[in-house]
Structure 1
Amino acid sequence: MRTLRYSINVTLDGCVHHEAGVAPDEELMQFWTEKMERADALIYGRVTYEMMESAWRRPDSGRWPDWMREWETPFAEAIDAKKKYVVSGTLREVDWNAELIRGDLGAAVQRLREQPGDDLAVGGVTLPLALADLDLIDEYEFVVHPVLAGHGPTLLAGLRERIRLELVERREFRSGAVAMRFRPEVSA
């Protein structure tokens, strides 16, 4: 069965908003690129899909925009090429190598997990909360940044039940950010 991993940047006070001051530097972008390259497919909700598409989809010209730094291009190329599944009840269609998921979220994601292939990656705020409540996330990966945002959406706010986690990997970055990967503890 494929592993479903939830990965996200988060501030020390738990904010997960993409504009909370946690933009990756070159070292972190390389980390995220490696994670993206290892994933077989991405699962996003509508908001995250549209945000990622607007930032990382290769323009029709075939050339990356001038604002993109050279060290961001490998990430852009990796995400642009990935298969994407979009959970949405409002979108009528998607492109950018994407397919819509409708109906029973748990059953649809479980079918994806049971297909052959490498890991699945989920991102965003709302969709991962629903998947955590359904006990479908196999690994949680948080890159905690030394920033206090003071406002914005927080990590897994509204989770129905506490999930105890076991640390399986930890990595520090020059920026002071720390990546931690966890698995849910198995009940005895």
Structure 2
Amino acid sequence: MRPLRYSINVTLDGCCHHEAGLPPDEQSMRFWTAELQRADALLFGRVTYEMMASAWRRPDTGTWPDWMDEWQVPFAETIDRTKKYVVSSTLSGVDWNAELVRGDLRQAVQRLKEEPGEGLFVGGVTLPLALADLGLIDEYAFVVQPVLAGHGPTLLAGLHERLQLELVDREEFTSGAVALRYRPMA
């Protein structure tokens, strides 16, 4: 069974809005590229799918935009080519190597986990909360940013049951951010 891994940037005060932390640098982009490469499919809700597609979809010209630094290209190429599953009841269709996921969330994600492969990556805020409540997340990776945001959506706000996690890895970045990897305790 392939594991479902949830990864996200989060500030010291728990904010997980994509603009609340530090801007990406080479070291953080290498980390996020490696995270995506640990999965053979990405699982997104509508908002995350649309946000990622607007930033990281290869343009029709085939050339990455001028704003993209050379060290961002491996991340862009990885996310662009990876299979995506989009959980949405409002979208009528998706593209960008994606497929809609409908129906019972537990059953749909369990089927995806049972497929052969390296793993599933989930990002975002709303969908991971639902998956955590269902006990479907096998690993959590939080890149804790040395920032106090003071506002914004917070990590897994509204979780129904307390989850006890075991620290399995950590990596410190020169920016002061720390990547922490956890697995649920049995």
- Please say whether Structure 1 and Structure 2 have the same fold, judged by a TM-score greater than 0.5: yes
The one-letter code of the counterpart of 2:69 is: R
Q: Indicate the residue corresponding to 1:185 in structure 2.
A: 185
Q: Indicate the residue corresponding to 1:62 in structure 2.
A: 62
Is the 1:13–1:148 contact (alpha carbons within 8 Å) kept by the matching residues of 2? yes
The one-letter code of the counterpart of 1:47 is: V
5+ long unaligned stretches in structure 2: none
The one-letter code of the counterpart of 1:176 is: G
Matched, 1:128 2:139: no
Is the 1:33–1:78 contact (alpha carbons within 8 Å) kept by the matching residues of 2? yes
Length-normalised TM-score, structure 1:
0.98
- Following superposition, which runs of at least 4 residues in structure 1 exceed 6 angstroms of deviation? none
Q: Deviations over 1:85-134 (max 9, x none)?
A: 00000000000000000110000000000011111000000000000000
Deviation, structure 1 residue 63? 0.4
Is the 1:139–1:181 contact (alpha carbons within 8 Å) kept by the matching residues of 2? yes
Q: Deviations over 1:35-93 (max 9, x none)?
A: 11221100000000000000000000000001001100000000000000000000000
Deviation, structure 1 residue 14? 0.2
Percentage identity across paired residues of the two chains? 75
Is the 2:10–2:21 contact (alpha carbons within 8 Å) kept by the matching residues of 1? no
Q: Secondary structure at the match of 2:163?
A: coil
5+ long unaligned stretches in structure 1: none
Length-normalised TM-score, structure 2:
0.99
Matched residues in 2 for 1:46 and 1:63: separation?
26
Q: How many residue pairs end up in the alignment? A: 186
Q: Indicate the residue corresponding to 1:75 in structure 2.
A: 75
Is the 1:10–1:22 contact (alpha carbons within 8 Å) kept by the matching residues of 2? no
Q: Secondary structure at the match of 2:131?
A: helix
Deviation, structure 1 residue 22? 2.7
Is the 1:80–1:96 contact (alpha carbons within 8 Å) kept by the matching residues of 2? yes
The one-letter code of the counterpart of 1:117 is: G
Matched residues in 1 for 2:103 and 2:39: separation?
24
